[in-house]
């Protein structure tokens, strides 16, 4: 398995799927939306996009399994597996609000191997593989070099588990608002991580997300020189659902802020 040769094929699959998402958005109807959980939505677009990705990836590595958000296929314990989010940023998509993306990662039981994230609204394909660097439309990515929290552009989200996260959200706003350069929410974990890798964002944190949300882009942050951990600073973040990513220089400061109000259940 040559990751550098495999990556362009995955980029093509992600780009084609992103084209499908963008085309379907023109005729999308809110009646097609189903609420999986409180404020967590899915539609035929998510499911159809996922089926397209699985069908296209299967010949590339016939021995690999799949972990997918919409569970159109079941994982059977294979040592290699694809982790797929066919539409990250579904709420943005429903409201015709950029941005949203396709996210595809290849993993083993011990490490992230390959990551591709395609954002159709700006036609941006972020990709990379372990040891090979991270790229955006052919150009190398590097995280920012900002070391001053007072100038940092930080991104967080308000997850669906509001009862478990409300105290943390209030603490983050109180601790960071007016003390950093700016705070933002963008509605897509995968894209936020890619923007950290690209140096557009200096740091990002979110809890109660699935591995399909972060696996591909987390590898890109690492390959671009950044750092990714869980909320407690552990590098083995893949087994959890709470992630912090940064340019590395701000990471300990972000962990220190989070330590003041850890979400329930973490």
Return d(Cα 225, Cα 232) in angstroms, integer: 20
- How much is the pLDDT for 37? 53
Tell me whether residue 237 is exposed, middle or buried, using C-beta atoms within 10 angstroms of its C-beta: 0 to 12, 13 to 18, 19 or more. Answer: buried
pTM confidence score: 0.94
DSSP letters along 189-215, please? HHHHHHHHHTTS-SEEEEES--HHHHH
Nearest to 172 by CA among 186, 154, 160, 190: 154
The CA distance from 40 to 28, in Å, is 18
Instruction: For the chain, give the mean pLDDT.
Output: 93
Cα(144)–Cα(261) distance, integer angstroms: 27
Q: What is the pLDDT of residues 40-98, one digit of tens each?
A: 556 788 889 999 999 999 999 999 999 998 888 989 899 999 999 999 998 899 889 98
Q: Are 204 and 156 in contact (CB under 8 A)?
A: yes
Mean pLDDT across 163-182: 94
Mean pLDDT on 189-199: 98
Residue 246 pairs in a beta bridge with 203, 227
Q: Comparing 4-13, 21-30, 105-114, 176-185, which segment has the lowest mean pLDDT? A: 21-30
Q: What are phi and psi of 87, to 5 degrees?
A: -155, 95
Peptide bond into 28 cis (omega under 30): no
Report d(CA 64, CA 61) in Å as an integer.
6
Assess contact for 57 and 182: CB atoms under 8 A: no
Per-residue pLDDT reduced to its tens digit, 28-50 = 777 667 665 554 556 788 889 99
Better pLDDT: 239 or 119 = 119
DSSP state of 241: S
pLDDT at 39: 47
* pLDDT of res. 60: 97
Residue 266: band (very low, low, confident or very high) from pLDDT cuts 50, 70, 90: confident
pLDDT at residue 34, rounded to an integer: 65
Residue ranges of domains in the chain, CATH in brackets = 3-140 (3.30.540.10), 149-259 (3.40.190.80)
Residue 11 backbone dihedrals phi, psi, to 5 degrees: -60, -40
Query: Is the pLDDT reported for residue 127 higher than 70?
Result: yes
Quick check: 134 and 220 in contact, CB under 8 A?
A: yes
Q: Hey, is 121 helix, strand or coil?
A: coil
Identify the band that residue 162 occupies on the pLDDT scale cut at 50, 70 and 90. Answer: confident
The rounded distance, in Å, linking the Cα atoms of 100 and 119 is: 6
């Amino acid at each position: 398995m040559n990751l550098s040769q495999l990556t362009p094929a995955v980029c093509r699959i992600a780009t084609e799927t992103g084209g499908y998402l963008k085309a379907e958005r023109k005729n999308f109807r809110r009646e097609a939306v189903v609420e999986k959980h409180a404020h967590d939505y899915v539609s035929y677009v998510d499911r159809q996009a996922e089926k397209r990705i699985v069908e296209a990836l299967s010949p590339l590595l016939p021995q690999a399994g799949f972990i997918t958000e919409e569970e159109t296929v079941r994982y059977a314990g294979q040592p290699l597996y694809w982790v797929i989010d066919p539409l990250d940023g579904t709420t943005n998509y429903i409201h015709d609000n950029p941005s949203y993306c396709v996210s595809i990662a290849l993993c083993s039981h011990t490490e992230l191997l390959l990551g591709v994230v395609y954002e159709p609204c700006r036609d941006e394909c972020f990709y990379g593989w372990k040891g090979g660097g991270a790229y955006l439309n052919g150009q190398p990515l590097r995280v920012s070099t900002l070391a001053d929290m007072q100038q940092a552009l930080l991104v967080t989200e308000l997850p669906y588990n509001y009862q478990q996260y409300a105290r943390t959200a209030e603490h983050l706003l109180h601790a960071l608002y007016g003390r950093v350069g700016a705070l933002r929410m963008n509605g897509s974990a995968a894209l936020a991580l890619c923007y950290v890798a690209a140096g557009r964002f200096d740091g990002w944190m979110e809890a109660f997300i699935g591995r399909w949300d972060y696996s591909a882009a987390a590898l890109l942050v690492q390959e671009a020189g950044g750092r990714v951990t869980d909320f407690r600073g552990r590098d083995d973040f893949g087994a959890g659902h709470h992630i912090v990513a940064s340019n590395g220089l701000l990471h300990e400061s972000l962990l220190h802020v989070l330590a003041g109000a850890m979400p329930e259940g973490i």
